Amino acid sequence: MTEFWESSFKDKKTMWGFEPADSAVAALNLFKEKGLHKILIPGFGYGRNAKIFTDAGFKVTGIEISETAIDMAQKHYGGDVKVYHGSVSAMPFDQEMYDGIFCYALIHLLNEDERIKLMNDCYNQLKPNGYMVFVAISKNDAAYGAGEEVSKDRFETKHGVQLFFYDSDSVEKEFGKYGLVEAREIDEPAKQVGNRPSQKFWFITCRKQEKQDR
């Protein structure tokens, strides 16, 4: 996984542009509404989804597997954000507690054990009454079923990336014990841009209660 993303960022640079994903804007609005301030972004990339948070006054910490992506983030956005270099599978990188976590298009790249660990690690670093937003690919996306099926609802693309596709049952199964508040399907981006069709994702919101048995 490290080699794939490192080579991708070296080859394609800022491959998604600099505009934040629509779901990042939605997460920002939610976090502002809930009065959050200190957030963690696993899968930071080159920071395109982070800048709107820092611009809004949030204190942002990131985790990113690609050193090239981190270098690009520092070049384009400055040094206001601390980004740990490493895989999310190596979490936690610090002992900080965050009141918000935004994880975009990352969790579906992991196998079941890795997904469970990521959820646990994020939840453990979330303050009581904090919120987590995960954006994960849906079974209703056009890419579902393409490539070799490596396990139930998990397929390997022609680029060698394995994707796990969520439906309402798997969302409930994996996120239900982490304070699942809402899960809704979205188009990302909300409006098709150029010749690139929108993808179908789940926008999954969890809240950590003061006391919650898991």
Residue 125: how many other CB atoms lie within 10 Å: 22
pLDDT digits (tens, 9 = 90+) for 15-41: 456 788 999 999 999 999 999 999 999
134: confidence class by pLDDT, cuts 50, 70, 90: very high
- DSSP letter (8 states) at residue 182: E
pLDDT value for 5: 44
Q: What is the DSSP string of 106-145?
A: -GGGS-HHHHHHHHHHHHHTEEEEEEEEEEEEBTTSTTTT
pLDDT digits (tens, 9 = 90+) for 196-208: 778 999 999 999 9
pLDDT digits (tens, 9 = 90+) for 37-72: 999 999 998 888 999 999 999 999 999 998 888 888
Q: Is the peptide bond before 92 cis (omega within 30 degrees of 0)?
A: yes
Domains of the chain: 1-208 (3.40.50.150)
Q: What are the beta bridge partners of residue 82?
A: 61
Q: Which helix (H) or strand (E) holds 150?
A: strand 148-151
138: confidence class by pLDDT, cuts 50, 70, 90: very high
Dihedral (Cα; 51, 67, 83, 75), 10-degree rounding: -40
pLDDT value for 213: 46
Alpha-carbon distance of 102 to 206, in angstroms, equals: 11
Q: Which residues contact 183 (CB under 8 A, 6 or more apart)?
A: 168, 171, 172, 175, 202, 203, 204, 205
Q: Which residues contact 82 (CB under 8 A, 6 or more apart)?
A: 60, 61, 62
pLDDT value for 3: 61
Alpha-carbon distance of 94 to 41, in angstroms, equals: 13
pLDDT value for 160: 84
pLDDT digits (tens, 9 = 90+) for 173-196: 999 999 999 999 999 987 766 667
